[in-house]
Amino acid sequence: MKNIYFLFTLVVLCFATLQTNAQSKRARTQFYNNYKTAVDIKTAEIMQNDYLYSQAVENSWFENIEKGLNNAKLFSEGKLGKSGKGTSCATADPFCTAEGSTYPAGVNNGQGEVGPAYGCLVSTPNPVWYYMKIKTSGNITITETNSNGIDVDFILWGPFATIAEATVATNMTEAKIVDCSFSVAAIGYIDIATAVEGEFYTLMVTNYSNNATDITLAKTAGTAETDCAIVNPLLPQVITFEDIPAKYVTDADFTLTATGGDSGNPIVFTSSNNNIATVSGNTVSLVSVGTCYIYANQAGNELYLPAVQVEQDLVVVNPLLPQVITFEDIPAKYVTDADFTLSATGGDSGNPIVFTSSNNNIATVSGNTVSLVSVGTCYIYANQAGNELYSPAEQVEQDLVVVELPVFEAPNFFSPNGDGRNDLWYIENPVLVAGYQLTIFNNIGEILYESEGYDNSWDGTYDGKELPSGTYYYTFVKDNEVLKGFITLIRSN
């Protein structure tokens, strides 16, 4: 599909060509239908994109397209003036002083419409209407000439705030008349003494002599300029530029990714500081530590506006120093054990070691303190965050095995004969009586051995002398709990 902006800029040429080569009503109707379809497609695209919409509003795209559609409609109905220009206020064409305008004057093309105040114009034969937008404030003189030196006249109204106001016939009141000429001279001078940026003016030019001629309008003096964007409204372009993640100064060259508009022109990338990063094409080379901006631009063409520049931050830093966690082994624990403290050291970031449990149903962690919950095996993880100088430490883990507390069992005999077998009264899991007071005594209550807890060291002696074979008694006492039993000491002859 041809671009709708291209269609709009060529709409007058299309009218002239069709008048010459396709005079039938069917041909004119087909032209209008094709033109309107193209406008509808492009309008739908613009309405779905906030940025394109804002650019279209800024460049008066909708107003210009509406005028184009109106002219196309009038042409399809055979009502457009023979000059190919707007013959009513509502069908006024945009005018740009930088480009001027030359057109064949209408002959036997009727009088100006009812509604406007025509000021000095006694008659308004063969009218042609223009509107223009002021781009640069100041004064301006537009000279009206014609190829055959015949009598042409004009009237200028304004200022108006919008194109819509500037193209309504009843807005052309006496109070809005800025300049007017009904002279018999072949040259007219259209003057605006104090044009202000953003204002619109409406101009009507007539062919009083009703003779064939080409009329030309061109700026010949003044500091003001009119906005040519309303003559050839261009389609906006938008650049989508992906974020650039922070980079280490030692990183390899990398490629930028961005998409632009439909002009076909390439995205051009540049760096704000070549001492930090340079750009060649879409490839970035890192130079030193620091922050700069990477700019993305796309040029326009005869159909598209230049895209608005987009930038992305590029942060280049030194490589981070490593951190290592040293985490001590955790011995197996009985489920009844008290809370215990974890021990680990990390790197130099100053950040704390953070401990977590893989299974809070077995053990929970608060700070560096572990509380046992139930029997099983889980992992205790140690982590340390990084900062602007240090990378996060690699996670370290230790197994934590939690077992049931065994039942206290003490042997009821031993034979301390020096043969290396049963020479000591040995109990399994002496940890079970840690903190208990052990007392061993004979049958008359005489105390033979005492200790806090028990380390499996009693060899059946008392005061350095071997006790005879016989039965002895023991008690383990802690608070109100008492574990007791007997020991048979057997000595061989």
Residues 219 and 94 occupy one common structural domain: yes
Percent of the chain, pLDDT > 70? Answer: 85
pLDDT for 132 beyond 80: yes
The pLDDT value recorded for residue 9 is 34
Q: What is the mean pLDDT of residues 121-128?
A: 92
Residues 122 and 191 occupy one common structural domain: yes
The pLDDT value recorded for residue 278 is 97
The pLDDT value recorded for residue 469 is 93
Q: Which of 31-35, 157-161, 478-482 has the highest mean pLDDT?
A: 157-161
Residues 421 and 344 occupy one common structural domain: no
Query: Distance (Å, rounded) from C-alpha 129 to C-alpha 70?
Result: 14
**Sign (positive or negative) of CA dihedral 158, 163, 167, 173:** negative
Mean pLDDT of the chain: 86
Query: Which residues make beta-bridge pairs with 438?
Result: 451, 476
Q: Is residue 456 part of a domain?
A: yes
Region at 55 (left for phi over 0; alpha for psi -120 to 50; beta for the rest)? alpha
Residue range of the domain that includes 333? 326-403
DSSP character string of 272-321: S-TTTEEEETTEEEE-SSEEEEEEEE----SSBPPPPPEEEEEEEEPPPB
Instruction: Give the model confidence (pLDDT) of 391-408 as tens digits.
Output: 999 999 999 999 988 888
The pLDDT value recorded for residue 368 is 96
Residues 157 and 34 occupy one common structural domain: yes
Confidence class for position 290, pLDDT limits 50, 70, 90: very high
Percent of the chain, pLDDT > 90? Answer: 61
Choice among 16-25, 73-82, 183-192 with the minimum mean pLDDT: 16-25
- Of 378, 403, 428, which residue is a domain's last? 403
Confidence class for position 217, pLDDT limits 50, 70, 90: confident
The pLDDT value recorded for residue 142 is 93
Place of tokens 């008392």: 462
Q: Is residue 408 part of a domain?
A: no
DSSP character string of 415-434: --SSSSSS-S---S-GGGGT
- Of 263, 298, 317, which residue is a domain's last? 317
Query: Distance (Å, rounded) from C-alpha 294 to C-alpha 330?
Result: 52
Query: Distance (Å, rounded) from C-alpha 78 to C-alpha 263?
Result: 35
Q: Is residue 262 part of a domain?
A: yes
Q: Is residue 15 part of a domain?
A: yes
Residues 37 and 135 occupy one common structural domain: yes
Q: What is the mean pLDDT of residues 217-237?
A: 84
The CATH number assigned to the domain holding 450 equals 2.60.40
Nearest to 7 by CA among 38, 45, 52, 47: 38
Residues 358 and 268 occupy one common structural domain: no
Q: Is residue 235 part of a domain?
A: no
Choice among 124-133, 187-196, 222-231 with the minimum mean pLDDT: 222-231
- Of 317, 350, 372, which residue is a domain's last? 317
CA distances from 265 to 237, 262, 295, 301, 387 (A): 11, 8, 16, 8, 42
Q: What is the mean pLDDT of residues 381-397?
A: 94
pLDDT for 139 beyond 50: yes
Query: Which residues make beta-bridge pairs with 134?
Result: 226
Residues 216 and 292 occupy one common structural domain: no
Q: Which residue has the higher pLDDT, 476 or 37?
A: 476
The pLDDT value recorded for residue 215 is 86
pTM: 0.40
Residues 92 and 209 occupy one common structural domain: yes
pLDDT for 133 beyond 50: yes
Place of tokens 């003779």: 211
Q: Is residue 158 part of a domain?
A: yes
Place of tokens 């399809």: 76
pLDDT for 17 beyond 60: no
Residues 396 and 422 occupy one common structural domain: no
Secondary structure element (H or E) that encloses residue 176, with its range: none
Number of structural domains found in the chain:
4
Q: Is residue 463 part of a domain?
A: yes
Query: Distance (Å, rounded) from C-alpha 82 to C-alpha 109?
Result: 7
Q: Is residue 200 part of a domain?
A: yes
Residues 45 and 193 occupy one common structural domain: yes
Q: What is the mean pLDDT of residues 323-328?
A: 96
**26-52 core/surface letters (b: 16 or more CB in 10 A; e: else):** eebeebbeebeebbeebbeebeeeeeb
The CATH number assigned to the domain holding 284 equals 2.60.40.1080
Instruction: Give the model confidence (pLDDT) of 237-277 as tens digits.
Output: 899 999 999 999 999 999 999 999 989 999 999 999 999 99
Nearest to 11 by CA among 96, 70, 59: 70
Instruction: Give the model confidence (pLDDT) of 328-372 as tens digits.
Output: 999 999 898 899 999 999 999 999 999 999 999 999 999 999 999
Choice among 20-24, 231-235, 356-360 with the minimum mean pLDDT: 20-24
The CATH number assigned to the domain holding 361 equals 2.60.40.1380
Residues 292 and 216 occupy one common structural domain: no
pLDDT for 50 beyond 90: no
The pLDDT value recorded for residue 5 is 37
Residues 74 and 101 occupy one common structural domain: yes
Confidence class for position 45, pLDDT limits 50, 70, 90: confident
Instruction: Give the model confidence (pLDDT) of 194-205 as tens digits.
Output: 999 999 999 999
Confidence class for position 324, pLDDT limits 50, 70, 90: very high
pLDDT for 282 beyond 60: yes
